[in-house]
Amino acid sequence: MTALLAPSILAADFARLGEQVTLTEQAGADRIHVDVMDGHFVPNLSIGPAIVKSLRPVTKLPIECHLMIEDPDRYIKAFADAGADTILVHVEVCKHLDQTIRAIRALGKKAGVVLNPATPALLTSEILAEVSLVLIMTVNPGFGGQEFLASTLPKIRAMRDLIDRVNPGVELEVDGGIDASTAPKAVEAGATVLVAGSAIFRHPGGVAAGMDALRTAR
Ligand code: DX5
Ligand code: ZN
């Protein structure tokens, strides 16, 4: 199976966001990845539900919201109402992960869990039956344009094994430093969805060239 591509709009030109999303869709993107940051869980600030609401009519692609925020329960409904198809929460901030995942699914949305580089794969074992997706951070979250941490490759493999044993339908996504050279390593380790920001929106040849390079490499 070929890995899916999820452009991360964090690296886009926000003044031309709709247009840039359309370019990725025309170039074969499979979903749009939206990075939500609160300045607490991660040092950076980024995007809120209003942007998701504006993007919703611009694209037919599913929109996934990666919540890098403390207390994600407070904002799940706002992102669901804004048009998110999938909501991803970090296990590091969810005191009652089972309840949070159920709340996302009760709103009719797909739910996913995210692991920081130092968080073990096994922390997802009791929730795997309830989620559609596991996202492994391949950089420490907060900023685009960071270097891929090769130290996460064994964890991607461990997660692949766990998913295959417990709930083979779960997608395994990677996020951070994914480009034409790191994408094949992540795929070889078992990733099925590739998030990429800089490699797509900051490609010297433009968005379509960035998409092409990743498509060929994956
Ligand atoms: C990082 C974000 C990523 C980021 C990836 O905290 O979760 O989605 O946009 O950016 P690149 O692909 O530039 O590493
Ligand atoms: Zn992300």
| pLDDT tens digits, 22-71 | 999 999 999 999 999 999 999 999 999 999 999 999 999 999 999 999 99
Q: Which ligand is nearest to the CA of 143?
A: 1
pTM for the whole structure: 0.98
Give the DSSP H or E segment for 137.
strand 133-137
Judge if the beta carbon of residue 200 lies within 6 A of ligand 1: no
Between the alpha carbon of residue 146 and those of residues 14, 89, 197, the distances in Å are: 20, 21, 10
Identify the CA nearest to 12 among candidates 142, 214, 215, 203: 203
173-209 per-position pLDDT tens digit = 999 999 999 999 999 999 999 999 999 999 999 999 9
Through-space distance between the first and last CA atoms of the chain, rounded to whole angstroms: 10
- CA 182 – CA 148 distance, rounded (Å): 7
For residues 118-125, average pLDDT: 98
Ligand 1 pocket: which of 35, 41, 193, 214 to mutate (most atoms <8 Å of CB)?
35
Which residue among the candidates 30, 175, 179, 212 is catalytic per the annotation?
A: 175
Atom from ligand 1 closest to the CA of residue 196: 12
Q: Are the CB atoms for 111 and 87 separated by under 8 Å?
A: yes
Query: Residue 36: which of 168, 142, 117 has the closest Cα?
Result: 142
Mean pLDDT of 78-107: 98
Name the DSSP class of 50: H
Whether 13 is catalytic: no
CA of 34 to the centre of ligand 2 (A): 7
Q: What is the mean pLDDT of the chain?
A: 98
> CA 80 to CA 92: how far, in whole Å?
21
Q: Residue written as tokens 């009652």? A: 96
Kindly identify the ligand whose nearest atom is closest to the C-alpha of 180: 1
pLDDT tier for residue 1 given thresholds of 50, 70 and 90: confident
